[in-house]
Amino acid sequence: MVTLEKENVRRPHRRALTLGLVAVLVLVLAVVGAVMPVPYVSLRPGPTMNTIGANPETDKPLIEITGAPTHQASGHLNFTTVAYTGGPKRPISLFTALRDWLNDERAVVPQETIFPKDETVEEVEQENTFLMEDSQQTSVAAALIQLGQKPSTVAAVQTVEKGLPADGVLQPGDEILAVAGVAADRTTRVTGALKKYKPGQSVELTVRRAGKEQKVTLALAPSPQDANRAVIGVVLRDRYVFPIDVKISVGDIGGPSAGLMFSLGIYDLLTTGDLTGGKFIAGTGTITADGQVGAIGGIQQKMLGARKAGATVFLVPAGNCDEAVPAAPEGLRLVKAETLDGSIKALQALQSGQGAVPSCSS
């Protein structure tokens, strides 16, 4: 009897000790999970803005056009974005990653998806800024070409490499108009002309800076990658020269995926009638000058953001259709977008109720 009584006394004590150890272990794991950084990024729906309306932060038109008559447009043609949490400078915790992984509105992806290992955060941000600027330029070109106007181009300096001949002579934004007196209206013509030179030879460039032309002479240097190739040390990109001035104000949003919606907004403002028919239409997709629509990332988060904002129609790049269909929120009609011209015709068919409207599910 004595032995049984002693064991009966010890058992509650052992259970309490075990529960106490489990509680401590859970607490330790919770603390570790809350502070332990993981190399992942959490994606969520970002802001969505109406390209034919006002920027909500400034209350000014998101797209301002001067030099051509414009027409007031109704409805919405919203571009969509993806926001993220995490990154090399502010990594998310294990707990946050697990919590967001269970959230249907979020996607947890490897950090390298946004921040490649061979690039700094500053380089990624700079690249996204450039991609947005380039997207805006291309979207204007696409809209004007759709309207029967073909803008001219010029080779513009994007960056100047330190320690090479152009360093201290050329600046970002300079436009190279001619090489050795021969007109060059695009990047390929500038680079093609420079291929005729050898390291050590000099070349005269006609450059336009802030509207003023000047001539500069540079002695070409061997390329750091190929000693037999002559370079001046700049990265060039084609810049369009438009007959009108188009200003697109989106704040600090970066990336190229709003191109299609910018083009549609510009087209709608420059033409009579409405593309939307008063509907709330949103979408995404890159754009080329000849109107080709390209695939983008974060389609699920963009659709969710659009639906929450009130969109009932969403323009999906053809390359994103397969992943968009199963992730589409209820009440959002998906329209497949392959070209700017096709997207315009699809919106006109939606408005009139006549004609085929391309769908992601067909």
The 8 Å CB, 24+ separation contacts for 320-326 are 320/284, 320/285, 320/295, 320/296, 321/360, 321/361, 323/299, 324/299, 324/300, 324/360, 325/360, 325/361
Q: How far apart are CA 310 and CA 326, in angstroms?
A: 20
Q: How far apart are CA 91 and CA 114, in angstroms?
A: 13
Which of the following is catalytic: 135, 302, 336, 343? 302
Strand partners for 65: 246
* C-alpha distance from residue 196 to each of 191, 207, 234, 353 (Å): 9, 19, 17, 58
Which of the following is catalytic: 42, 135, 139, 257? 257
The closest of 172, 166, 155 to 223, measured between CA atoms, is 166
Is 302 a catalytic site residue?
yes
Is 257 a catalytic site residue?
yes
Q: Which amino acids are annotated catalytic?
A: 257, 302
